[in-house]
């Protein structure tokens, strides 16, 4: 079936958001940890995390103009520091709940029962229950003028993963670490590795 722009515009608002956020396909879901200048910790789920480059190691994520990530963006601008924590089969319900509009004086760690994990030299908090996590420093904040969103560009400064989980070739088995995928801000998937293919040649 064909859905034209006018068909799309005629949908109810929530249905438009549901359909639009399904189009990319299965996406990452990560908890972004920040700590404000008042030392309060904050957690927010992001599904727009993407690799921008390996040398230097740059990761991008998109902030929506409003709602859940306001505190996150403010803390990143104020402190230049954040963590990204891959959400797993045992943490996705708590990660989902972190999207609720808690006031700024409420820590999502306290309300969801996730545990703060701190490392020397890193201002932002990690999530203890998430096995694959890393810290970033703000490299750039790029406006997307069409709709007022921003691309937050971070340089990875430290990676913390389970012992023995890094293979010699640099790979980490995401399925064995129970990382989940998501779509449409409300749907979660477990993943099963079906192939690892050699570099594509002519």
**Min dist. Cβ of residue 64 to a copy of itself (A):** 8
Tokens of 5: 């722009």
Rg of the chain on CA atoms, in Å: 18
Report residue 2 CA to chain centroid gap.
Answer: 32
Determine which helix (DSSP H) or strand (DSSP E) holds 14, and give its type and residue range. helix 13-22
* Residue 17 lies near a copy of itself (rule: CB under 8 A): yes
Q: List binders of a copy of itself among 31-70 (CB under 8 A).
A: 47-60, 62, 64
Q: Which of 192, 183, 193, 194 is nearest to 92 (CA)?
A: 183
Q: List binders of a copy of itself among 145-184 (CB under 8 A).
A: 145-147, 149, 151, 153, 155-166, 168-172, 174-175, 179-181, 183-184
Distance CA 32, CA 136 (A): 10
Of 37 and 190, nearer to a copy of itself (C-beta) is 190
Binds a copy of itself (CB under 8 A): choice among 28, 33, 36, 125: 28
Q: List binders of a copy of itself among 93-132 (CB under 8 A).
A: 93, 96-102, 119, 132
Cβ neighbours, 10 Å, residue 150: 17
**Min dist. Cβ of residue 29 to a copy of itself (A):** 7
């Amino acid at each position: 079936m064909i859905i034209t722009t006018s068909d799309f515009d005629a949908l109810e608002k929530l249905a438009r958001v549901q359909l639009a956020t399904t189009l990319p396909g299965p996406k990452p879901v990560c908890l972004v940890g920040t700590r404000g200048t008042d030392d309060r910790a904050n957690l927010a789920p992001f599904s727009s995390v993407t690799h921008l480059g390996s040398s230097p190691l740059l990761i991008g994520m998109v902030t929506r103009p409003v709602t859940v990530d306001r505190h996150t963006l403010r803390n990143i601008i104020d402190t230049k520091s954040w963590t990204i924590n891959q959400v797993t089969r045992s943490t996705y319900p708590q990660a989902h709940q972190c999207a609720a509009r808690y006031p700024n004086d409420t820590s999502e760690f306290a309300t969801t029962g996730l545990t703060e994990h701190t490392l020397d030299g890193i201002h932002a908090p990690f999530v203890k229950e998430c096995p694959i996590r890393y810290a970033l420093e703000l490299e750039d904040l790029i406006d997307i003028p069409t709709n007022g969103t921003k691309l937050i560009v971070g340089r990875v400064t430290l990676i913390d993963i389970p012992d023995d989980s890094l293979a010699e070739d640099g790979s980490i088995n995401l399925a064995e670490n129970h990382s989940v995928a998501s779509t449409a801000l409300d749907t979660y998937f477990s993943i099963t590795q079906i192939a690892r293919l050699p570099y594509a040649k002519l």
